[in-house]
Amino acid sequence: MSDYTTGIKELDDPIGGIKKGSNIMLIGPPMSRKEVILYNIMYHGAAKNENAVITVTTRESATHILEWFKENKLALPLSRVGIVDCVTKTLGGGAIENENIKIASSPVDLTGIGVKISQFFEEFFMKKNIRKTQLHINSLSTILMYSNIQTVFRFLHVFTGRIKAAGALGIYVLESGMHDEQAIATLKQLFDGMIEIKSENDKNFIRVIGLSPKPTPWFEYEIEGANVRIVGRK
């Protein structure tokens, strides 16, 4: 199996894990609990695959994310985790950086976000000698609310390139139905594949596209606490 996996066996088995240097869009409708799927990938990456995981958060504060793991009794290895918090300063809250948390000014401050990501990359790669890194951006939709598509494309162009060069994994969350098709098509050029989520008749489904010769089937999933459970196949 590859160094990078989703942690969901039914998805990982058919694709044989994710190739290093891959950039993946995680796209799904609001309230499909994408963030739990992302947190699972984060936990699996850091705790099981022993990767460094850098998460850029524009929706929840870094403290809130770390609390989620605590509440759900998932022992996240903090020495491998870095969170770029773009929320706390925007809300005017006390913003203190520590080993795990770096604070960016706002989701508009792509320059600042880029600097903080680079600093975590350096810290993990150079100082801690961790060679496998995952970069998660949750979410591009918030960034797109403040910046136009060209600006976000330029930003992603740089970081998807760095992910490839470093043999890392990039996962970028996008809300479906919030952006026009052209914007999504523009962004898709930068990605190697997608983890796609859809909701039908109060049921949630997930599949992976572009990382294996054929898309995986749609799997129905349920979330209990922090667990993502596959309950059926479409």
Locate 117 and state its tokens: 């990501």
Binding residues with another protein: total (CB under 8 A): 32
Subset of 107-136 contacting another protein (CB under 8 A): 108-112, 114-115, 117-119, 121-122, 125-126, 129
Dist. CA 163–CA 149, nearest whole Å:
20
Interface with another protein, residue 106, by CB under 8 A = yes
Please state the closest distance from residue 157 (CB atom) to another protein, in A.
Answer: 6
Residue 158 is encoded by which pair of tokens?
A: 């740089």
* CA dist list (Å): 177 to 30, 191, 209: 8, 19, 19
| H or E segment and range at residue 219 | strand 219-224
From 126, 107, 129, 154, select the one nearest 51 (Cα to Cα): 129
* Binding positions for another protein, 35-54, rule CB under 8 A: none
102 vs 207, beta carbon nearer another protein: 102
91 binds another protein (CB under 8 A): no
Cis geometry, peptide bond prior to residue 139 (ω within 30 degrees of 0): yes
Nearer to another protein, 72 or 147 (CB): 147
- Distance (Å, whole) CA 101 – CA 103: 7
43 Cβ neighbours under 8 A, 6+ residues apart:
7, 69, 74, 76, 226
124: exposed, middle or buried (C-beta count within 10 Å: 0-12, 13-18, 19+)? Answer: buried
Q: In this chain, which of 151, 186, 199, 212 binds another protein, going by CB under 8 A? A: 151
Which is nearer to another protein, 34 or 162 (by Cβ)? 162
> Shortest gap between Cβ of 183 and another protein (angstroms)?
15
**Residue 166 interacts with another protein (CB under 8 A)?**
yes
**Choice between 150 and 201, CB closer to another protein:** 150
Under rule CB under 8 A, residue 190 binds another protein: no
**Which of 70, 154, 203, 233 is in the footprint of another protein by CB under 8 A?**
154
Residue 104 phi, psi dihedral angles, 5° rounding: -100, 155
Does the protein bind another protein through residue 189 (CB under 8 A)?
no
* Kind and range of the H or E run holding 110: helix 110-122
What is the binding site for another protein (CB under 8 A)? 89-90, 92, 105-106, 108-112, 114-115, 117-119, 121-122, 125-126, 129, 146-148, 150-151, 154-155, 157-158, 162, 165-166
